[in-house]
Structure 1
Amino acid sequence: MTPRVSILIPCYNASATVERAVDSALAQTFHDIEVIVADDGSTDSSLVVLERYRGDARVSIHAEPHRGGNGTRNRLLELARGEFVQFLDADDELAPKKLEACLAAFTEDVDVVFTDREFHGGHAGQVGRYPEPTGDVVEYFIRNSVVTMLPVSRLADVRAVGGFDASLPCCQEYELHLRLALHRWRKIRHLPIPLCTYYVTPGSTSSNQVRLFATRVAVLRRFAEEELGADGLTPGRRDVIATDLMNCARILMRCGHEDGALGAYAFARRLSPATPYPAKWPLRLAVRLVGPVRAERARTWLTSRLGLG
């Protein structure tokens, strides 16, 4: 019998946490599920931990060669049999009613349902809340990076756009959701309740920030260039992309990655010259007078010396 929902768990060296993730999948109050775990060539005892589930008909364990996270997620999409898919990283967990709530919100014209998340770790107790979707779906997913475990999607839609881009070091769900919003998703539904727990890894560094935001810039630039060629960029989408690129540029500048920041800023200006710099008016004026690098340097100096925000 084909399950309604496939819960897909990529696992790499997650022996300390994968049991928690699988148990949260099996604790769902919606029971018509399969849980597929693909081990991505782990070198720890992850597969030993997963052996305890071999006797559970709902769970299948696959020992795979090392492909990386996105390659493993694509392998899971090949293995999935459900109408809907729910991704879950091996160090996170689902609330028991995650699937029940999302599936109850699906109607024939709804393409995807997603929830909020609760943080555990460095941001313990905080809830990552998303704004209510309005207007253009593509613009919404440009503005908002909806992380992998939050949506319940139709398997056919994710397969139709080719799954995850295996070349990306991060931002894989952001890039995938842009393609889905452009080609498959027309009506989206947001449930403003935290039904997933995201475990924060301590020790985030500026190098991680540079990788994250440099990749996001690359994703947005490629998306914009492809849609410019296909005449798919409305003025609103140009404006939203330009704003996001300039926000990324500001973060890259603060991390000392000025070349990447200037590239993002220049592309944003070419894409939408009228889009204002995303800051309060004194800094916007300074950017117009001396450029973003000098303006942001001055802001940093003032903040550190005078305590200005």
Structure 2
Amino acid sequence: MTRVSIVIPCFNDGAHLREAVESALAQDHDDCEVLVADDGSTDAATLRELDTLDELGVRVLCLDHAGVSSTRNSAIAAASGDHVLPLDADDRLAPAYAGEASRLLDADPAVGIVGAGTEFFGSDAGVIHPDVPRPEAWLVANQLPVSAMFRRADWTEAGGYAQDLRWGEDWHFWVKVVALGREVRVLPEIGLYYRRRPGQVTTHVPWDVQEATRARILQAGIPIVTRFPEDSTSIIASQLNQLQAVKERRSERLRSAALHTWRRRSGRPHL
């Protein structure tokens, strides 16, 4: 049986950390390691919660604040498992997720990523059951949340999570793993319970930040384009058309707003 390391970065999220840890400890896989990496938390409640984890048999890494990618990389580097399952500190895992995903990786050396269905809770509810993504689909959109299992060896070969990206570091990492030629599988069951919260960073990403990440995605995905040239160019062209349409609608809204403001301030009548 292959050891699984569940790695949980945490920054001032003690209010939800215990739920995440308990869901990791409740996995039915017989060889699971749970490792929490503290990203320099300053919140007193979070620090108190971190102090209680040792008695649960959870390893805690105390790090200087460096952001989620750096913290996740440090946790994986310190992990002892050959399979890695990341978990955010405010989410939860279904009990069978680690075992089912690990068995899929053990059964087929060609598989490099195993995801599952996601159920949302908190400020929003819903369920997503992703299809198995085609390799070229990763070039235009993220296909799985951060809580999917991969091999620690592939994390090393891919260079880990990019620590300079301000958004989409998990998407970028998945593209690098797929670019290695690894296949993706998706379990039909719910594996992740994803907490929705008002004002989450992922719902308010500036255009320039998105553009920077997408450029890196395409750069990392060049081996995918090389392997699937026709499918990749078609899907990228389709995405560019959609982005151009969005940009044109946005420009028209800005022009209309500017014209409305000018007329209001100048006293000109509306046409």
Shorter-chain TM-score category?
Answer: 0.7 to 0.9
Q: C-alpha separation between the residues in 1 aligned to 2:2 and 2:223?
A: 40
Shift of 1:250: 5.0
Q: C-alpha separation between the residues in 2 aligned to 1:237 and 1:78?
A: 33
Q: 2:30 is paired with a residue of what secondary structure?
A: coil
The equivalent of 1:198 in structure 2 is 194
Q: Counterparts in 2 of 1:69-84, with a 5 A limit? A: 69-84=68-83
Shift of 1:220: 2.8
User: Is 1:119 aligned to residue 113 of structure 2?
Assistant: no
Shift of 1:195: 1.3
The equivalent of 1:289 in structure 2 is none
Change (3 A) 1:209 1:249: farther
Query: What one-letter code is carried by the residue in structure 2 that aligns with 1:176?
Result: F
Shift of 1:251: 5.1
Q: Counterparts in 2 of 1:107-256, with a 5 A limit? A: 107-109=107-109, 110-124=111-125, 126-133=126-133, 136-137=134-135, 139-145=136-142, 146-149=144-147, 151-185=148-182, 187-203=183-199, 208-211=203-206, 214-225=208-219, 232=226, 234-248=229-243, 250=245, 256=250
Query: What one-letter code is carried by the residue in structure 1 that aligns with 2:209?
Result: T
Shift of 1:143: 4.6
Q: C-alpha separation between the residues in 1 aligned to 2:225 and 2:2?
A: 40
Give structure 1 stretches of 5+ with no counterpart: 259-292, 298-309
Instruction: Give the TM-score, by structure 2 length.
Output: 0.81
Q: C-alpha separation between the residues in 2 aligned to 1:29 and 1:37?
A: 19
Change (3 A) 1:152 1:115: same
Change (3 A) 1:48 1:217: same
Change (3 A) 1:21 1:248: farther
Query: What one-letter code is carried by the residue in structure 2 that aligns with 1:241?
Result: I
Shift of 1:249: 5.1
Shift of 1:178: 0.8
- Is the contact made by 1:217 and 1:248 (CA closer than 8 Å) also made in structure 2? no
Give structure 2 stretches of 5+ with no counterpart: 257-271
Q: C-alpha separation between the residues in 2 aligned to 1:230 and 1:86?
A: 24
The equivalent of 1:48 in structure 2 is 48
- Is the contact made by 1:214 and 1:252 (CA closer than 8 Å) also made in structure 2? no
- Is the contact made by 1:35 and 1:60 (CA closer than 8 Å) also made in structure 2? yes
Shift of 1:155: 0.5
Change (3 A) 1:252 1:4: farther
Change (3 A) 1:229 1:105: closer
**Greater RCO, CA 8 A, separation 6+:** 2
Query: What one-letter code is carried by the residue in structure 1 that aligns with 2:213?
Result: V
Instruction: Give the TM-score, by structure 1 length.
Output: 0.72
Query: What one-letter code is carried by the residue in structure 2 that aligns with 1:153?
Result: F
